Chains A and B, each alone.
Chain A
Amino acid sequence: MALQLNLLHEEILEQRQRQRDPLKIGMLVLASCGAILFLYYAWNAYQTLEIKGRLSRIDRDWKKIEPQVTAAQKRSAELTNMINTTRVLDGYIENRFFWAPFLEKLSRCVAPNAQLTSIEGAVLEEDKGVVVTVEGVAAAREARAAAEDLRQMLIEQLSQSYHDVKVEFKTLEDLDTVANVGGVNMAMARYVLAVHFNPGPEIAKPVPSPTNRRSKQKDESS
């Protein structure tokens, strides 16, 4: 075998060492990483710009609609307020107590031998009803009975339209004076009637439920 001498050995080694220089390789790796990172950043920036563009488009649309929406909201609030006010006012109107029908009923109850001298009435607050004080005189053989007739008549007439009707004598006293009714002298009585009734709709009294009844029965048995 012939002996071969490589006179460029050192030069080739040096070149190989240069090629395998870790600093150079590191720099290459670093540069490629940097390039990847830059591309990733550019991609993200592009997406962000696109999103911002979308936002500005939506903003433009919103600015076009906003005055209409504000006006619509204002009008809605106005209408809702108006509807509610009308509803409350209608309730107020419907829940009023009408005095004219009451006076008509009262006048129907007064017999020719009875006379009213004073009527004082008031509508109580919080739907607690109406109170009326009726003062007058009655003339008959039995003057007190004539006053009682008026009371009964009032209960009967008022119960037709109102509920919880109470008519009670506050005062009933015989008078010394006599009245001439149809040419006959009659004894007189003075009366003051306290009338109370509720003109509103009747509220149904709660019926005890079967379970309540059963528990009550149990209580009673124990």
Chain B
Amino acid sequence: MNLPKLNKNQIQKLALSVMGFVVLLYVYFTFFLGPLNKSRSVTMAAIEDRQRKVDSSKSELAKATNLERKAKDATARFAALKALSPEGAPIAWFPPRMKIFFANQQIDRAVARLESNTGFKQSELAAWIKYNWLIELPQADFASLGKAIAELENTEPLLMVTKLSIHTLPDSPQFQQIGIAASTVIEKR
């Protein structure tokens, strides 16, 4: 190719143009196209994130509906277990309840005392407390006691007799003195 011969002035201008072009490219990619692409990739990531959330939310809603249907029995059972313990401090209602219960079983003068209360280690029972009681029956015959304990164990599902002591009374051997250590599971109020 027959290139025209350039003079010094023209070579200087050409070099300046090339430099200007390089600067233009740098400015273009660094300050215009770069931030634009960055913003676009950030937006795309945000879209993916939202889309994932929307997709998972649909399954979450379906799961909740399904769980609600499945948990019908558990909900009723849970409500029934909660209803076993009335409102208020257990020390206020448990001793009178025991007194009335044993009186109905022909065993008078039943006294219930709170020994201690402890929380559970299981995380599922974090909202429940175990109360340990000592129930004293100063005088009862063996047959009535057996029936009363059977009734107590059947009507109070959250009560467990942990210790039982029966001693005959020296003066009247047909009667026994009874001590029952029982623990009850009661929801925190």
Contacts and interface: CB of A to CB of B under 8 A. Distances in A.
Contacts of B10: 21-23
A98 B153 contact: yes
B54 A89 contact: no
A117 B61 contact: no
Contacts of A47: 40
Given A22-B10, A87-B124, A103-B149, A41 B64 contact: no
Contact of B57 (A33, A65, A116): A65
B161 A99 contact: yes
Contact of A86 (B21, B36, B81, B166): B81
Interface string A64-96: 011011001101100111111111111011001
Given A83-B74, A107-B146, A23 B13 contact: yes
Nearest to B58: A65
A26 B25 CA distance: 15
Contacts, number: 173
Dominant secondary structure of chain B at its interface with chain A = helix
Contact of A96 (B21, B37, B160, B166): B160
A89 B81 contact: yes
Interface string A34-49: 1001001100110110
Contact of A85 (B18, B125, B158, B165): B125
Contact of A117 (B17, B77, B168): B168
Chain B interface size band reads 35 or more
Interface residues of A, number: 65
A77 B53 CA distance: 18
A115 B71 CA distance: 52
B153 A99 contact: yes
Nearest to B165: A120
A52 interface: yes
B125 A104 contact: no
